[in-house]
Amino acid sequence: MASNPLKAGKELWSKNRRRVLVAACVVVVALAYGHHSPKVKTERAEIPAGYESAGRELAVHAEAKPEKPVPLLLVLHDDESDAKTIEKDSKASALADQQKFALVYPEAVASNWQTDGKDARYLWDVVRYVAKERSNIDMSRIYIWGAGEGGRLALTVACGPLDPAQQPLFTAVGTVNTVGPPACPARVHVKPVTLAPGRKWNEATTSELWKFSKDIKG
C-alpha cells in the first residue's frame, strides 16, 4: 500500500519545525541589521569648490543618510602625524559605529598645523562640508578633539571670538598632551587629558573623551 504523502509531509514538518523557525529568525535579524546598521567606511575626501579651503584633504567616517541628525566629532592629529595614524591610535571610528555619530579626521598641510586663520577656516569648512554634503548633522552637537598641536588648534578655533555668521559653535573640546592651552569662555567645555610619557592616545582615552563630550548639552 502506498504511503500517504500528506502524512509524510506533516511528519517531516514536525521533525524540522524548530530548525526552520530558527533559520527564519536568523534571516529576519540579518536583514533588519543590514537595513538599519549600514557598514560605514572611512573615506578620503577633498573640500570641493565653493569653499575657501577647496582642495584640502580629510578623512570622513559618517553614515550618508542617518534617520535622525547625529553629532559630529572632529579629531585632529598632532604635528608630524596624519589622519590615518590618529584613526588607528584612537580607535575612534569603532566608537562612532557603536554610538552612532559622524566622525572626521582633518589633515594638516605637510603634517603641521598652523593656528592662524587658514587652518581655522579649514576646520569650519570641514564642518559645513560634512553637514551639507556628507551626512545629517545635529549642529548643536559639534565636538572637537586634538592631540598635541592638534589640541592647541582645536582650542584656538573653539575658544576664539564667536561669530555665528562665519563659524559653527563647538560645544566641547578634548585635548590630549596639549601644553599651555589658551583660556576658554564658559560656553565651551574643555577636557584636558595628559598621558604618561611614551603612551599613545588609545581606545580608553577616546572612551573617556566621548563620555565627557556626549554628556554636554548643546
Coil, strand, or helix at residue 45?
A: strand
Contacts with 166 (C-beta within 8 Å, 6 or more apart), sequence order: 124
Q: What share of the chain is helix, strand, coil (3-state, %, to 5)?
A: 40, 20, 40
On whether the CB atoms of residues 103 and 90 are closer than 8 A, the answer is: no
- What's the DSSP call for residue 138? E
pTM of the predicted protein model: 0.81
Whether the pLDDT of residue 36 is over 50: the answer is: no
Phi then psi for residue 44, to 5 deg, are -75, 145
Q: How far apart are CA 194 and CA 178, in angstroms?
A: 8
Q: How many CA atoms lie within 13 A of 188 on its CB side?
A: 26
Q: What is the pLDDT of residues 57-111, one digit of tens each?
A: 999 999 999 999 999 999 999 999 999 999 999 999 999 999 999 999 999 999 9
Q: If pLDDT is split at 50, 70 and 90, which confidence band does 167 have?
A: low
Q: What is the pLDDT of residues 184-206, one digit of tens each?
A: 888 889 999 999 988 999 999 99
pLDDT at 161 (0 to 100): 75
